[in-house]
Amino acid sequence: MRIDLKGLDAQEFEEWATSQGLDKYRGRQIREWTFKKLAVSFQDMTNLPKDMRTLLEEGASLSPSETVKIQVSKDGTKKLLFQLKDGHYIESVLIPERDHSTLCVSTQVGCAMGCRFCLTGKHGLKRNMTPGEILDQVIQVKRAMNEPERLSNVVLMGMGEPLANYNAVTKAIGNLIAEDGMNFSHRKVTLSTCGLAPQIKKLGKHITVNLAVSLNAADDITRSRLMPVNRKYPLKQLIQTCKAFPLPNRRMITFEYILIKGINDRDEDATRLVKLLSGMRAKINLIPLNPLPGLDMTPPTMERIQHFQNILIEHHFTTMIRQSKGQDISAACGQLSGEESE
């Protein structure tokens, strides 16, 4: 089986090159072609001898997945369906902003977390993705863009729970932010988690990245109803872990809060949220619930959402209402399924 080069770090590139009978510097050259020049094949690597390129093609791969479908929303959002080598499907979402673009990438095929408001979890977890498969989403999207420099932000918020695939995800992030990798700023890379407290603690010691926590309720009863993970890592443990998470100057943890009519959108819910996050360097993203087939919950009115926001702002929390993009192509938060039939 051919090795997936996108899954190797800098040292492993050199070690792989020497295992092929090449000098270490050839490994560095191949790494540059892979992550900076976004080579499609070894034949693109023109500073390598032709016979070497042919030899490398027999033992290594630069394409762990294939783009099989692209849907474009009326707001410009693009949803990409990728087929992995074993036939599984995953999705990524490219979101255009005024002066840049953000790519939302998947980290697992499916998800085991079972959050009630998320379609991905309804299909269960099929398997973890490899570091190369995670990075390949960024590379393929960047390669296809007319202005690839516009892609400055990456969020690990697609299919799957990133921290449940910890080693592969952190390795992919390492290549994403490395100067000799894809050279994204760590300020522009965000990992979103449903709240795996031990892995959050480990992440803070391991790598510098923006942390977003899917909170969605400020009491254990409601949160456990919405998110089964809360039964294992309840709010007290989660918040203590977040308070200890190392934050560079002026950085904050983002808490994502999906608003659901009659369940977590009342004034008392906002007051509990204020109390829960008191004293933290936190900002809050309010996300109106996105529609899912068969879901017996609905979003609140915009008037209620704005009232909820005002309570948080009055208590000096930076609070944004996140407008859902790509809803008409099922590309919004919680709508990804990785189904080929879509």
Query: What is the structure's pLDDT at 332?
Result: 66
Rg (C-alpha) for the chain, rounded Å, is 21
Q: Catalytic: 115?
A: no
Catalytic residue among 91, 133, 161, 256: 91
Q: How confident is the model at residue 81 (pLDDT cuts 50, 70, 90)?
A: very high
pLDDT tens per residue, range 226-243: 999 999 999 999 999 999
**CA-closest candidate to residue 307, choices 255, 334, 268:** 268
Catalytic residue among 104, 111, 194, 333: 333
Q: Give pairs for 12-21: CB < 8 Å, separation 24+.
A: 16/60, 20/55, 20/56, 20/59
- Domains in the chain, ordered, with CATH? 3-61 (1.10.150.530), 65-329 (3.20.20.70)
- Tokens, residue 197: 């407290």
**CA-closest candidate to residue 257, choices 187, 318, 341, 336:** 318
The pair phi, psi for residue 42, each rounded to 5°, is -65, -25
Query: What is the structure's pLDDT at 341?
Result: 46
Is the pLDDT at 326 greater than 80? The verdict is no
Q: Catalytic: 12?
A: no
16: which DSSP letter?
A: H
Number of H helices, E strands in the chain: 12, 14
pTM here is: 0.95
Give the mean pLDDT of 321-330: 80
pLDDT tens per residue, range 105-130: 999 999 999 999 988 888 899 999 99
Please list the residues that pair with 102 across neighbouring strands.
Answer: 95, 153
Give the mean pLDDT of 324-330: 76
Of all residues in the chain, the percent with pLDDT exceeding 70 is 98
Please provide the average confidence, as pLDDT, over all residues in the chain. 93
3-state secondary structure of 3: strand
